[in-house]
Amino acid sequence: MCLGTIAQVVEVHKDGRAVVEDHGKRQLVLEMTVSDDDITVGDWVVVQSGFALERLTESEAREALRIRESTGGQPT
């Protein structure tokens, strides 16, 4: 099973791309798949296969990261 990662947006480009950071690793993703308003620096997103799929609140992101870390990164 392939799980998305939880990452924080660190750069937003005008061409529909953004740079996100997950545990110190940066990745360029397409943000046009987030269904609501444009993402901004500091937002948390779920990323899978190079696409930002969904925006999360900071509390949702932190809770998801806490659960992942407590289960060794494996699905529960």
CATH class of 5-70: mainly beta
pTM: 0.82
CA proximity to 61, closest of 21, 31, 28: 21
Per-residue pLDDT reduced to its tens digit, 10-21:
999 988 899 999
What pLDDT is recorded for position 35?
A: 60
C-beta of residue 76 within 8 angstroms of C-beta of residue 68: no
Residue scoring higher pLDDT (72 or 73): 72
Mean pLDDT of 24-45: 85
DSSP 21-37: EETTEEEEEE-TT-SSS
User: What are the sequence ranges of the domains in the chain?
Assistant: 5-70
What pLDDT is recorded for position 37?
A: 65
Q: Phi and psi dihedrals of 68, rounded to 5?
A: -60, -45
